[in-house]
Amino acid sequence: MASTYLALLIGFALAAYFAGARRAVALSAGNPASLHSRPAYHGFYAAILATAPGFAVLIGWWLFGGRVLDRIVGARFQVLLSAMSGPQQQAFIRDARNLAGGIVYGEPTPEKEAAAALYRSLFASTDIVLGLILAALAALGLVLALRTITARRRTRHFVERFVRGVLIACSVVAILTTIGIVLSLIFESLRFFQKVPFLDFLFGTHWSPQSAFVGAGGDGEIDAGVFGAVPLFAGTLLITLIAMLVATPIGLLAAIYLSDYASSKFRAVAKPVLEILAGVPTVVYGFFAALSVAPVIRRLGDGMGLSVSSESALAAGLVMGIMIIPFVSSLSDDIINSVPQALRDGSAGLGATKSETIRKVVLPAALPGIVSAMLLAVSRAVGELAAFALGLVLFCMTLALNVIALGVVARYRERYD
């Protein structure tokens, strides 16, 4: 129903636009120059006044309406729900809501049927109320707009201020996202650390969260001993280390070759090819690791008399390394290119070969940038390895790495002018 209202509102906005524009033209009495703003702005003015409150109500209802209805149903079935555990209550409400929407999972109990019926009647009545509110707001807005439109009315200023407000609201979404991320991580982590002591988590050596919830869905006892993060961190560090051992030399050398040696034709081919490597989704690399790399490593290990697990960190690290090669190379490329040509020319003038110039002049000058590029690559690698229970730690780790990277750059950046 909400989408119908949305379509109706959009249609009404169009109608209000034409009504406003026509009203302005009529007021100008054949002399458009007598209007302060062009008729289109009067049209926008009418459309905004008529439908902006309606859109706000609709969005607000869409975001919060479900919760309100859940509360009402929860209050009606309080006796039943109070006998249930938290997750069961949520499941009951969810199932009832789905049932009302026509999605049936399994055999619904009579209580759920009753709750679904309540939902259905609530849906119907709120739809009517919502429709009435929207219609009233739209009619009021349109009347107000048409009455206030005069030839000298500065509707362009109004419309532009409104657009400006919308633009500001859009750019605030980025801040809201950050706040949301931080808050959700903090709250989830706090809940987690209520169940599992912080020190046990940080220094525990046993990680198998699947075995913690034996009675799934219930509020059963949680074995805090299986949330030790040490194996996870050790694994992440090991894989990241292997990945960097693969990606750093290959990526750096590739960047040097492409920026200082390669012909422009070769570069035109090689750069997009490396970028394709960056565009391949992570799942594909996972498949590649499991299917091609791990068996090869396993066979190699068997050949050398070592027993290698088919899910070895070596395979994961190698593939992760391949994955971040383009990341390292494109970042390094930018940094190497930003070293001024004068330094190279000076070195060449002293008789150094190209490779000597690169190793003794360009790389030291670019070092801080390269270090920060590597740290960024590490933070991407760590991010890809993410296990969700570690969200906060992960967020802090990548944030810290980013800050360190920026700090390194700021501290050691040499300005050449």
Partner 1 sequence: MTNIAQSGIARTGPDGLSIHTSGDARKRLARRYAAERRFRRLGLGAVLLAMGFLLLLLSTVVGKAIPAFTYTYAVLPLDLAGDKINHDDPLRSNFDAIVKAAIAEALPFAAGRKQRRAARGLISSGAAVILRDMVADDRALIGAPRAIGLPVSDTLDLYFKQLTAPRRSREPQGSATPSATSDKIHIAVEDGVIGSDEQFGRDAPSHLVFINGGVVKITGADGEGLQGDVLVPLQSTVPAAQGDWRLVTINQAESARKISDREIAYAEILNGMGLIERRFNAIFFTRGASREPEMAGVWGAVVGSFFTMLVTLALSFPLGVASAVYLEEVAPKNRWTQLIEVNINNLAAVPSIVFGLLGLAVFLNFFGLPRSAPVAGGMVLALMTLPTIIIASRAALGAVPPSIREGALGIGASRMQTVFHHVLPLAMPGILTGTILGVARALGETAPLLMIGMVAFIVDIPGGALQPATVLPVQIYMWADFPEPGFQQKTAAAILVLLGFLVVMNAFAVVMRRRFERRW
Q: 113: Cβ–Cβ under 8 A, 6 or more apart, which residues?
A: 99
Expressed in angstroms, the distance from the first to the final Cα of the chain is 63
Choose which of 29, 33, 63, 304 interacts with partner 1 (CB under 8 A).
63
Q: Residue 43: which of 70, 16, 9, 69 has the closest Cα?
A: 16
Total residues binding partner 1 (CB under 8 A): 83
Residue range at the interface with partner 1 (CB under 8 A); choices 116-124, 193-201, 340-348, 382-390? 382-390
Instruction: Give the residue, chosen from 1, 132, 163, 202, that forms a contact with partner 1 under the rule CB under 8 A.
Output: 163
Of the residues 109, 178, 211, 309, which one makes contact with partner 1 according to CB under 8 A = 178
Q: Is residue 373 part of the contact set for partner 1 (CB under 8 A)?
A: no
CA separation for the pair 227, 76 (Å, rounded): 39
For residue 87, how far is the Cα from the chain centroid? 27
Please, are residues 259 and 333 in contact by the beta-carbon 8 Å criterion?
yes
Residue 355 touches partner 1, criterion: CB under 8 A: yes
The reply on whether position 334 binds partner 1 by CB under 8 A is no
Specify the length of the chain in residues.
417
Which CA distances in Å does 284 have to 24, 53, 186, 270?
A: 59, 46, 32, 21
Selected from 142, 254, 331, 374, the binder of partner 1 by CB under 8 A is 254
Pick from 167, 202, 245, 410: which binds partner 1 (CB under 8 A)? 167
C-beta of residue 77 within 8 angstroms of C-beta of residue 64: no
Q: How far is the CB of 181 from partner 1 (least distance, A)?
A: 5
Site for partner 1 in 258-297 (CB under 8 A): 258, 261-262, 270, 272-274, 276-277, 279-288, 290-292
151: helix, coil or strand?
coil
Under rule CB under 8 A, which residues in 83-142 are in contact with partner 1? 94, 103
Find the part of the chain contacting partner 1 (CB under 8 A) among 26-34, 120-128, 169-177, 366-374.
Answer: 169-177
Smaller CB separation from partner 1, 281 or 305: 281
Q: Which is nearer to partner 1, 132 or 299 (CB)?
A: 299
Distance CA 136, CA 140 (A): 6
The span of 43-51, 122-130, 163-171, 408-416 binding partner 1 (CB under 8 A) equals 163-171
How open is the CA angle 292-294-297, to the nearest 5 degrees?
105
**Dist CA 270 CA 229 (whole Å):** 41
* CB closer to partner 1, 142 vs 247: 247
**CA dihedral sign, ordered 51, 52, 55, 61:** negative
Q: How far is the CB of 317 from partner 1 (least distance, A)?
A: 14
